[in-house]
């Protein structure tokens, strides 16, 4: 088979368990490849601007990882109905993202060329992953994989015309974009130089901040160096990315070590299970939570020992220390602003932050139209209410200082409306109460013992009251914190 030949989607079976994508998805090397692909995406000016304005990858990276994982699984599902539904959801999500970068250049998440570049980075990073780990793809497998990714783009965009038809032409296209279009964007710099160094702990490790900070201090720079070394040399040179001495050897070693997982028994590594476990909290009713709780206790003891051996100084990065315990079940205005309201992590509250909340709730509840639009509209009305009340300098956004100075009063009509819409979206059968299964869909755990329930149901007034107490920052809430505050 020559490099200029490509098989049809039917011949290569691009979706389902027989696809090349499925064969690689549980591969540990895929984590390194995804980081690399994300940097190449973020280096595209349009994508970088959209990420900087709308994405939660800085403040909530683990949540973003989980949602991205589930989306990719659905887009490569064997059932065409599952793929079509997920493509519709992604297209609705992307249609809400447009604007301009700091230089005034417009971006549109529905632009076909930029969407094609996202798919191109995933394919090229998978090929590079195999090469760097000493298991390069032969030509036939590479052609099959490229056909799968073009089929993925076609499922999302209607056709794959924005990507070259054959593999030989793809490499010329990829090199041209790297040489002519990619830039040292803010989003790419954040991923390389901020995200790894300040990565918040996943829910599993949230109770051991000192231990997490110590591990992150070592692993963060190494991940950054490995990622930089793996990027195409023309982009590294153009973006002025410094390469740490020995980084190429380190990168090769990391990919080779990850590639050794192929010798493990089948089924030992499952990406979905790993991500689910990282997302668990000790209070969850998931059967794995008991093991997690025991691990949590061990980590706390190790963290305490580490503090004794190496006390944290006053100059320590604030996010490496345990937050002060909230008073009487509440949190300070600054904590609530940072942990819940500022979803994008840019230090300000504006529409993309509330849109991110609507997006997370829509994802959890798996909403279709028109319920999804109804939820976004409710959050938009709440944003207008917040802006009118808190934007004292008229710059179109709310700073942490403006929020804290205002000492927000109890919820207004717009936030009450948000609570009611969330309740209606969760109450799938429309019987006026949230039953155990509906509750689990939203919170991913069983009814919490602190909630007032009657006959195994959660009524509208109780739900609205709890939601308002949480969203107005008056108190913490065990089920609501993982909903919007967890990383």
Q: Is the pLDDT of residue 412 over 90?
A: no
Decide: 41 and 132 in contact? Cβ < 8 Å. no
Query: Over the stretch 338-385, which tens digit does the pLDDT of each residue have?
Result: 889 999 999 999 999 999 999 999 999 999 999 999 999 999 999 999
Report the C-alpha gap between 311 and 248 in whole angstroms. 34
Given a cut of 80, is residue 306 above it in pLDDT? no
pLDDT at 472: 79
What is the pLDDT, as a whole number, of residue 2?
Answer: 39
Instruction: Return phi, psi of residue 206, to 5°.
Output: -65, -25
List the chain domain ranges. 9-260, 330-484
**Higher pLDDT among residues 245 and 286, named by residue:** 245
| Residue 260 pLDDT exceeds 80 | yes
Q: What is the mean pLDDT of the chain?
A: 84
pTM metric for this prediction: 0.83
Question: Are the C-beta atoms of residues 196 and 215 closer than 8 Å to each other?
Answer: no
Q: What's the confidence (pLDDT) of residue 3? A: 40
- Sequence-separated contacts (24+) of 383-392 with Cβ below 8 Å: 383/350, 383/351, 383/354, 384/414, 385/412, 385/413, 385/414, 385/415, 386/349, 386/354, 390/349
Residue whose pair of structure tokens reads 């319920």 in the numeric block: 371
User: Chain-centre distance of CA 227, in angstroms?
Assistant: 18
What is the CA 431 to chain-centroid distance, rounded?
33
Neighbours of 305 (CB within 10 A): 12
User: How confident is the model over 192-210, as a mean pLDDT?
Assistant: 80
Cα dihedral sign for 44, 46, 49, 51? Answer: negative
pLDDT tens string 22-48:
878 788 888 899 999 999 999 999 999
Determine how β-strand 433-435 pairs with β-strand 457-459.
antiparallel
Count of CA atoms in the C-beta half-sphere (13 A) of 144: 17
pLDDT of residue 356: 95
Record the tokens describing residue 72, joined without a space: 């990719």
Q: Is the peptide bond before 370 cis (omega within 30 degrees of 0)?
A: yes
Is the predicted pLDDT of residue 106 greater than 70, yes or no? yes
What's the pLDDT score for residue 457? 83
Contact in structure between 27 and 272 (CB atoms under 8 Å): no
pLDDT band (50, 70, 90) for residue 108: very high
**Average pLDDT for 411-418:** 91
Region 256-271: what's the mean pLDDT?
Answer: 79
- pLDDT tens digits, residue range 218-242? 888 899 999 999 999 999 999 999 8
With beta carbons less than 8 A apart as the criterion, state whether 125 and 29 touch: no
Residue 67 has pLDDT above 60, yes or no: yes
* CATH of region 330-484: 1.10.238.10
Residue 159 clears pLDDT 80, i.e. is over it: yes
Does 293 score more than 50 pLDDT?
A: yes
Q: Rg of the Cα trace of the chain? A: 23
The predicted pLDDT at position 318 comes to 39
Calculate what percentage of the chain has a pLDDT beyond 70. Answer: 83
């Amino acid at each position: 088979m020559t490099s200029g030949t490509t098989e049809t989607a039917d011949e290569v079976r691009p979706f389902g368990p027989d696809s090349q994508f499925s064969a690689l998805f549980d591969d540990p090397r895929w984590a390194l490849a995804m980081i690399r692909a994300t940097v190449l995406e973020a280096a595209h000016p349009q994508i970088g601007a959209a990420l900087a304005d709308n994405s939660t990858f800085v403040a909530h990276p683990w949540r973003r990882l989980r949602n991205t994982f589930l989306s990719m699984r659905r887009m490569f599902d064997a059932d065409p109905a599952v793929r079509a539904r997920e493509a519709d959801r992604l297209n609705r999500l992307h249609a809400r993202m447009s604007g301009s970068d700091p230089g005034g250049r417009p971006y549109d998440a529905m632009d076909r060329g930029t969407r094609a570049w996202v798919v191109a980075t995933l394919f090229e990073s998978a090929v590079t992953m195999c090469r760097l780990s000493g298991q390069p793809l032969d030509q036939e497998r590479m052609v099959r994989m490229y056909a799968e990714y073009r089929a993925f783009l076609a499922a999302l965009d209607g056709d794959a015309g924005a990507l070259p038809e054959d593999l030989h032409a793809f490499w010329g296209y990829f090199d041209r974009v790297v040489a002519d279009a990619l830039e040292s964007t803010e989003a790419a710099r954040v991923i390389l130089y901020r995200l790894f160094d300040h990565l918040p702990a996943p829910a599993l490790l949230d109770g051991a901040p000192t231990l997490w900070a110590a591990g992150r201090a070592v692993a963060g720079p190494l991940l950054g160096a490995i990622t930089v070394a793996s990027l195409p040399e023309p982009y590294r040179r153009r973006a002025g990315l410094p390469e740490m001495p020995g980084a190429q050897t380190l990168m090769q070693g990391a990919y080779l070590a990850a590639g050794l997982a192929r010798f493990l028994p089948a089924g030992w590594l499952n990406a979905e299970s790993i991500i689910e476990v990282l997302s668990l909290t000790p209070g969850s009713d998931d059967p794995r939570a008991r093991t997690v709780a025991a691990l949590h206790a061990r980590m706390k003891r190790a963290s305490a020992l580490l503090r004794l051996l190496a006390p944290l100084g006053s100059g320590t990065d604030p996010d490496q220390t345990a937050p002060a315990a909230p008073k009487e079940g509440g949190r300070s205005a600054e904590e609530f602003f940072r942990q819940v309201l500022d979803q994008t992590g840019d230090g300000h509250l504006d529409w993309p932050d509330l849109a991110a909340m609507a997006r997370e709730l829509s994802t959890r509840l798996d909403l279709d139209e028109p319920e999804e639009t109804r939820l976004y509209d409710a959050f938009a009305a709440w944003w207008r209410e917040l802006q009118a009340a808190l934007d004292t300098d008229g710059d179109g956004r709310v700073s942490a200082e403006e929020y804290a100075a205002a000492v927000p009063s109890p919820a207004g009509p717009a936030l009450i409306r948000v609570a009611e819409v969330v309740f209606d979206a969760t109450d799938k059968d429309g019987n006026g109460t949230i039953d155990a299964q509906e509750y689990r869909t939203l919170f991913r755990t069983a009814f919490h013992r602190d909630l007032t329930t009657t006959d195994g149901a959660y009524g509208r007034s109780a739900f609205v009251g709890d939601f308002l107490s949480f969203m107005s920052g008056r108190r913490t809430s065990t089920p609501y914190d993982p909903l919007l505050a967890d990383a």
